[in-house]
Structures are given as structure tokens and as C-alpha cells.
Amino acid sequence: MLRHLAIPVLLLSLGAVAARADTLPRRAAGLWEDTTELDGRRSTQRQCSGPPKARTEKREESPFRGLAHPDCTQTVTRTGDGYEIAQVCSFGPARGEGRGRVTGDFETTVRMEMTMVTTGVPNHPGTRTSTLVIASRRLGPCEAGQAPGPVHGGASR
């Protein structure tokens, strides 16, 4: 359902951490429910969060941290009640820019609201502006046998 929106989201949500003034705190370890709303379309995913055991798991520590990519930059600035994020990514002819805010205590709740502008996306001519909201809430500890990562059918993948 959200497949046609994947390119703009990937451009920005997989952005880099290269130029940070501050860093986002890690979410508390445990089972989290992330509700994502992109331009009015909603999806929900559960994720077991914990300390990364390997470099490849680093992206699981927060839905708001990007993967390191040489064509992306992200700045995070601490504000009085949260964090402001600015992000720019380029992948071939496609370019994405996003600005947003992250709030919450990172122990029980985290919320990110971001406006993204993408251009040059193959098969999607013109400029596209999207609104992304990710609301996360901690449900409790991860279940026995769950490892950090998305949870599908009660088990981590």
C-alpha cells in the first residue's frame, strides 16, 4: 500500500549521520510499536530494540537514525523540548531534503514529524512534498527469544 511512497521515504529516512551537531538519544531497550503515517497513509510495525550486537544491526537502534551513506548528511540540534533534524540525500539523479522535529522521553515515547521534498526521482517527475510522522511507544520488555529488529508474527527477523 505504501510501496509507491517508498522512494521519497528511503531518500530521507535512510540518510546519513555525517554532520551532527548533537545526537538523538537511543530508545530504551524493549518492544516498541512504531506507527508511521506518510501523506495520510498509516502502517504499524513492532520492533524489539536493544543494544546493537554487530555493525549491521546499528540501524535498528532507532527508527529515526539513518544508515551511513556518503551521499547524505544529517544535522541534529537539541532544542528546549526535543531535537530539530535537517537532512539532505542524493542518490543518482534523485535528491531529498527533509526538516523536522523529534520529541519524547525516549524511555516510553518518541515522536518524529518531518516534511520532505524530493526531486529527480525516476518515474516520478517534478517535485514532491511529503509529510512523515512516526509515533513510537514502548510496550514493555522484548519477549523471550526476540533479538533487536522488526518483529513479525511474534518473532524477530
Residues shown for the chain: 157
pLDDT(99) > 90: yes
- pLDDT category at 50 given cuts 50, 70, 90 is confident
* pLDDT at residue number 17: 34
Whether this model's pTM surpasses 0.85: no
Containing 9, the helix (H) or strand (E) segment is helix 6-13
HSE-up (13 A, CA, CB side) for residue 93: 8
Radius of gyration of the chain (CA): 15
In a domain, 147, yes or no: no
In a domain, 157, yes or no: no
pLDDT(142) > 60: yes
Model confidence over 108-139: pLDDT tens digits?
A: 999 999 999 999 988 888 999 999 999 999 99
In a domain, 148, yes or no: no
Domain boundaries, position 98: 3-140
**Contacts of 143 by beta carbon, 8 Å cutoff, 6+ apart:** 31, 48, 154
State mean pLDDT over 16-26: 61
Give the total number of structural domains in the chain: 1
